[in-house]
Structure 1
Amino acid sequence: MSLQYTIIPVTPFQQNCSLIWCEQTKQAALVDPGGDPDRISQAIEKAGVELAQIWLTHGHLDHVGASSQLATKYGVDIIGPGEQDQFWLDGLGQQSQMFGFDPIESFTPTRYLKDGDTLSLGEHQFDVVHVPGHTPGHVAIFHPQSQTAWVGDVLFCGSIGRTDFPQSDHAALIRSIREKLWPLGEQVTFVPGHGPEGQFAEERRNNPFVADQLFS
């Protein structure tokens, strides 16, 4: 039961939108389609898959900007983030204006996600982990079988998410990484919201914000 994914950088923020699909059923999900809907549609077509769902890790503009347009085009549900991020989704018009994006209308997802939820895609199951800090409703999406986690803007290679936004919480972010992500396993590969993929083991050794030796 092979799971495939490809990363599509979108928006001037070079946000990592992921197209994930089940090799058996060709059912696909988009994680954080932040913009450039035409580029994303081309990637779906190139992969030869059928978009079934859109999954959001958190409510920031560069992670959700193309969601409504793509959901309408493909007739699919928007799932996530946590309900605590609805205030970010409500403010999308203001955010898009502030950052010089095309106007984006606010929306409410079909379903909010919370800690312990599961997502299904074809023959694959994913675990939802609530990881607040960068935003209060931020979630990570973990595929146990391939040991891969989509972590949005919580953790990056050598860095962590910003906590200077409304309702951000630095202490909560550190707890989310150490108490919610690390227990998933050192061998986990993570796909961050920006930049290259990494491994939890490497971050536990060398990340200047959350390396294990900082807390021993």
Structure 2
Amino acid sequence: MLQYKIIPVTPFQQNCTVFWCDETKQAAVVDPGGDVEQVIAFIDGQGLTMAKVLLTHAHIDHAGATKALATHYGVNVEGPHQEDKFWIDLIPMQKERFGFAHAEAFDTDRWLNQGDTVSFGNIELEVYFCPGHTPGHVVFYHRESKLAQVGDVLFRGSIGRTDFPKGDHATLISSIRNNLFPLGDDVRFIPGHGPMSTFGEERRTNPFVGDGVR
């Protein structure tokens, strides 16, 4: 069974998430933006075996500590989609702009695409390509738990910004409505920032992408 722990990191309070298989104790960390010591302390404190780092996208508050965490445990990095490579290449510039002293550029070991899966222990996550906030954003979905990690695509009562380089509002709306909402109203999601919600709640009430918005 999938277990998870949300660890808010960086001054942006980004929802870094530790997923793990309760049968094998193998774990994957999604979006280690920073405060890597907190993440390591949780993993080691729970007796988990780190299997891989997963990235929804490559903004620095989601990916800044990727190299530090992957190097510490000697594991691979999977994600995001290749269209976000330019954001990875810009991490040194992002680092100076936002004062993220810990952040380092890194190489991903596997770019992810729509229809791919990632696995650790007995857990398999489905990959959904959801550009708009960034051009290479992906979402991870665990079908058995009806739980998604959506990064900065969708929030409770809001959606991701599209004013960054290569962001696109219409593409983001399409990603949400055509790739996420069809998974079901009862799907819970962990956003990149802030509280969890469900796709059904956002369909009903979200002022940007709800069913009543055209």
TM-score where L is the length of structure 1: 0.97
Q: 1:3-61: per-residue Cα shift (whole Å, max 9, x none)?
A: 10000000000000000000000000000000011111011112221110100000100
Aligned partners of 1:185, 1:103: CA distance in 2, in Å?
38
**Does structure 1 retain, via aligned residues, the 8 Å contact 2:188–2:199?**
yes
SS at match of 2:209: coil
**Is residue 76 of structure 1 aligned with residue 75 of structure 2?**
yes
Question: Which amino acid is the alignment partner of residue 143 of structure 1?
Answer: H
**Does structure 1 retain, via aligned residues, the 8 Å contact 2:64–2:100?**
no
**RMSD value, Cα:** 0.8
**Does structure 2 retain, via aligned residues, the 8 Å contact 1:84–1:137?**
yes
SS at match of 1:120: strand
Aligned partners of 2:53, 2:102: CA distance in 1, in Å?
20
Aligned partners of 1:202, 1:103: CA distance in 2, in Å?
37
Q: How does 1:1-216 map to 2 (within 5 A)?
A: 2-102=1-101, 104-215=103-214
Aligned partners of 1:39, 1:147: CA distance in 2, in Å?
27
Aligned partners of 1:106, 1:48: CA distance in 2, in Å?
28
Aligned partners of 1:49, 1:134: CA distance in 2, in Å?
32
Name the count of aligned residue pairs: 214
Q: Any stretches of 5+ residues in structure 1 without a counterpart?
A: none
Aligned partners of 1:66, 1:180: CA distance in 2, in Å?
28
Q: 1:162-212: per-residue Cα shift (whole Å, max 9, x none)?
A: 000000000000000000000111100000000001111100000000110
Aligned partners of 1:80, 1:214: CA distance in 2, in Å?
31
Question: Which amino acid is the alignment partner of residue 136 of structure 2?
Answer: G
Aligned partners of 1:65, 1:83: CA distance in 2, in Å?
17
Question: Which amino acid is the alignment partner of residue 19 of structure 1?
Answer: V
Question: Which amino acid is the alignment partner of residue 40 of structure 1?
Answer: V
Deviation at 1:103, TM superposition (A): 5.3
Sequence identity percentage: 56
**Does structure 1 retain, via aligned residues, the 8 Å contact 2:34–2:103?**
no
Deviation at 1:124, TM superposition (A): 1.5
